[in-house]
A and B are shown apart, each in its own frame.
Chain A
Amino acid sequence: GQQLNQSPQSMFIQEGEDVSMNCTSSSIFNTWLWYKQEPGEGPVLLIALYKAGELTSNGRLTAQFGITRKDSFLNISASIPSDVGIYFCAGQLDPGGSEKLVFGKGTKLTVNP
């Protein structure tokens, strides 16, 4: 089945630093999503990307849908302690099939104040 390779697995940064993480796939996706999960909670949608090449921002977060439709990246600028959590990328298959999401294994972010 489809797999997403998400990197890095974990990041330890200082407050105020910028963060970058990415996802690559061997398959094409028509939608890329980025979620954040905090301990004891479900994933919360941060950004959704629907078109190849699309660059979308949500506050300090910026994500891009790769031109090849096989990759996406998420940037967080000027990190703050509440950015701590696990960030997941997810790809959604062609709506002509099923709407299931394929998730990356996550990037665990730790922000030191």
Chain B
Amino acid sequence: DSGVTQTPKHLITATGQRVTLRCSPRSGDLSVYWYQQSLDQGLQFLIQYYNGEERAKGNILERFSAQQFPDLHSELNLSSLELGDSALYFCASSVALWAGEIDTQYFGPGTRLTVL
């Protein structure tokens, strides 16, 4: 158990819909990262938040957005869903005190999204 929790574990929805995935980081971790894992693309970094603010962006679509709340939990919002958005979505957290600090990311169990 990494200490990172994600809900829901599974989500089935239809094209065009909007969903919200939730992540609670490990106690004491300030940084949250979102990754998408699909069969053809592997694990892809989407976005990172640090202490409530966006810190880095990866291959995140404009239809997707995220935020980190004052209690440090994070939500990933996926809208206008398409069939190709079906994937595993992982959240990871790290201490990330400041740039240059040796840091390790710990992954949650993931949310499996199926878009029909």
Interface residues of A (CB under 8 A from B): 31, 33, 35, 40-45, 48, 50, 88, 90, 92, 95-106
Contacts and interface: CB of A to CB of B under 8 A. Distances in A.
Interface of B: 2, 4, 31, 33, 35, 42-45, 48, 55-56, 58, 90, 92, 94, 96, 99-110
Contacts of B103: 92, 95, 99
Contacts of B42: 103-106
A88 B110 contact: no
Contact of A96 (B92, B99, B102): B99
Contacts, number: 67
A43 B96 CA distance: 19
19 contacts: A33-B104, A35-B107, A40-B109, A40-B110, A42-B110, A44-B107, A45-B105, A45-B107, A95-B100, A95-B103, A97-B56, A99-B31, A99-B48, A99-B94, A100-B45, A100-B56, A101-B45, A103-B42, A103-B43
A103 to B, nearest CB: 4
A41 B106 CA distance: 12
B101 A95 contact: yes
Contacts of B108: 42
Nearest to A6: B42
B58 A100 contact: yes
A101 B56 contact: no
B100 A101 contact: no
A45 B106 contact: yes
B1 to A, nearest CB: 10
A42 B90 contact: yes
B43 A88 contact: yes
A85 to B, nearest CB: 14
Nearest to A88: B43
B55 to A, nearest CB: 7
A18 B105 CA distance: 28
Contact of A95 (B4, B45, B99): B99
A40 B58 CA distance: 24
Contacts of A95: 99-101, 103
Given A48-B104, A99-B94, A41 B110 contact: yes
A90 B107 CA distance: 13
